[in-house]
Amino acid sequence: MMEALIFEKSKRARKAVSLPEVDLGKEIEKRIPSNYLRKTGLGLPEVSEPDLVRHFTRLSQRNMSVDTNFYPLGSCTMKYNPKINEALANLPGLSELHPYQPSSGVQGILHILHETGRMLEEISGMDGISLQPAAGAHGELTSMLMIKAYFEDRKEKRDKILIPDSAHGTNPASSSLAGFKVVKIDSNPEGEVDLKCLSRNMDEKVACIMLTIPNTLGLFEKNILDIAQIIHSKGGFIYLDGANLNALMGITRPGDFGVDVMHFNLHKTFSTPHGGGGPGSGPVGTKEKLTAYLPVPTIEKKGDDYWLNYQRSKSIGKVRSFYGNVRVVIKTYCYLRILGKEGLRQVSEDAILSANYIRKKLESYYPSPYKGVCMHECVLSAKNKREKGVRALDIAKRLLDFGIHPPTIYFPLIVEEALMIEPTETESKETLDAFIDALVQISREIEKNPSLVKEAPHTTPILRLDEVEANRSPQVKMEEQGLTGFQTRINKGARG
């Protein structure tokens, strides 16, 4: 059944709460200047509490989530996050702190932040950490600004950044935002950085290369030591997009294979749910050469006391209010303390095992141009389904009928009809097998009855939307379109 908008359910004067009238009367006008007072009501929907709760609970059940469905969205690491870490981060002693409390009164949280930084250093082999950046892309930008400040200090004019063609879109975006020119580096037939192309483009104008390891094809850059040599010999830095750390923890450390600066995605690797636009955290780590440039404040320890160091003359300054998204960091701290060294290594090994299990079982149905063992995600291709008129998008839509969130599609850009699958370490063999069976069945359907796949999904509350129309002429403003216009557009794709 179509769920009406909450505004359509509104009945005048119906309420979900009953608070006493404000008894200030005329006093309000004396206390608040009249130009700040509302002339009209808020225009909020007026509904009873059960109607409100049911409306939003029903809506929430129409979405897929990690708590309800397998969610193998490549590159995004949609793993299940233990609820214990949420509970710990919500303890009043932590969640009710105020960022303006003096550091003498918040030694506990400073201890947690400081320790988390030290653990991230140990995992990555970096020498310094800032927990401030609010997301992966923000960590990238912060790092590019540090690199820029480093070369400006030395009066070296370096305005180029090398980025492989398999990179995540945020890499070129962050480089441009920091004022650099982006130079694209080709991949070789194995899906790794083409060393000839790299050497050709590396010169004294290059500030750094932004590498993702494992790269977005799920492959470890086997030539990383050669890459590091080529870049370092001409004075450039190696930046690691560390969003894929889920594959490396406890096995190898970026700082040991040549990385100078990197970001972490706490909301991917370290126990914070994401995808709904909630707070994330993208700390950056640097080797000694760049630590002076880290944002202020850094959290430091003298004897048994923690303090916030704002007096760092080379720092690029603040990149986020206060100390970053502290509650995300608390969850990371709990996650790391619960798992320990051995546990973390197991996370990565299981993530890699799951991805290779899926790759092996599916590669004869959806062959990828890149062969061989992958890391924590595998990239398959639906190119061979084109002759039946079926595309990766259709397969993604059909998976919804099996109660499975689709993998990432059409990324990385260098694989035609890409299906980028990241199962993560938190899924059971039964779940992986159900996913494999679904994709095998879909492959058979494409042979026998391709329209079944092309017209999917068949069972979701909203069927296939006209995405081109939705992009070309989005109608989101209710006052312009009227509720019914907005509703009709959605209804076109709705069942029943």
The yes or no reply on residue 168 touching ligand PLP (CB under 6 A) is: yes
The whole-angstrom separation of Cα 262 and Cα 285 is: 5
The yes or no reply on residue 265 touching ligand PLP (CB under 6 A) is: yes
In the complex with ligand PLP, which residue's Cβ is closer, 192 or 241?
A: 241
Of the ranges 1-9, 34-42, 236-244, 307-315, which one interacts with ligand PLP (CB under 6 A)? Answer: 236-244
In the complex with ligand PLP, which residue's Cβ is closer, 239 or 293?
A: 239
Three-point CA angle 478, 479, 482, nearest 5°: 60
Please report how close the Cβ of residue 471 comes to ligand PLP at its closest, in angstroms.
21
Please report how close the Cβ of residue 193 comes to ligand PLP at its closest, in angstroms.
15
The whole-angstrom separation of Cα 135 and Cα 97 is: 22
The yes or no reply on residue 280 touching ligand PLP (CB under 6 A) is: yes
Of the ranges 118-126, 132-140, 222-230, 410-418, which one interacts with ligand PLP (CB under 6 A)? Answer: 132-140
Q: Which residue's Cβ lies closest to ligand PLP? A: 136
What are 240's strand-pairing partners? 211, 262
Please report how close the Cβ of residue 171 comes to ligand PLP at its closest, in angstroms.
7
Count of residues in contact with ligand PLP, rule CB under 6 A: 14
136, 214, 236, 254: which one binds ligand PLP (CB under 6 A): 136
In the complex with ligand PLP, which residue's Cβ is closer, 136 or 407?
A: 136
The yes or no reply on residue 243 touching ligand PLP (CB under 6 A) is: yes
Q: What values do phi and psi take at 187, rounded to 5? A: -95, 150
Q: Which residues ranging from 73 to 112 are in contact with ligand PLP (CB under 6 A)? A: 75
Please report how close the Cβ of residue 2 comes to ligand PLP at its closest, in angstroms.
32
The yes or no reply on residue 415 touching ligand PLP (CB under 6 A) is: no
In the complex with ligand PLP, which residue's Cβ is closer, 237 or 264?
A: 264
Of the ranges 237-245, 283-291, 334-342, 359-367, which one interacts with ligand PLP (CB under 6 A)? Answer: 237-245
Residue 7 burial class via C-beta count within 10 angstroms: exposed 0-12, middle 13-18, buried 19 and up: middle
Q: CB–CB of 425/351 below 8 Å?
A: yes
The whole-angstrom separation of Cα 394 and Cα 235 is: 47
81, 166, 212, 348: which one binds ligand PLP (CB under 6 A): 212
The yes or no reply on residue 217 touching ligand PLP (CB under 6 A) is: no
Sorted by sequence, the CB contacts under 8 Å of residue 201 that are 6+ apart come out as 162, 183, 185
Q: Tell me the C-alpha to C-alpha distance, in Å, between residue 365 and each of 102, 187, 457.
A: 60, 25, 21
Q: Tell me the C-alpha to C-alpha distance, in Å, between residue 157 and each of 204, 206, 237, 259, 369.
A: 8, 9, 14, 22, 39
Kind and range of the H or E element at 115?
Answer: helix 107-124
Q: What values do phi and psi take at 309, rounded to 5? A: -95, 110
In the complex with ligand PLP, which residue's Cβ is closer, 177 or 436?
A: 177
Of the ranges 102-110, 130-138, 380-388, 440-448, which one interacts with ligand PLP (CB under 6 A)? Answer: 130-138
What are 305's strand-pairing partners? 302
Sorted by sequence, the CB contacts under 8 Å of residue 481 that are 6+ apart come out as 475
The yes or no reply on residue 282 touching ligand PLP (CB under 6 A) is: yes
Residues contributing to the site for ligand PLP (CB under 6 A)? 75, 135-137, 168, 170, 212, 216, 241, 243-244, 265, 280, 282
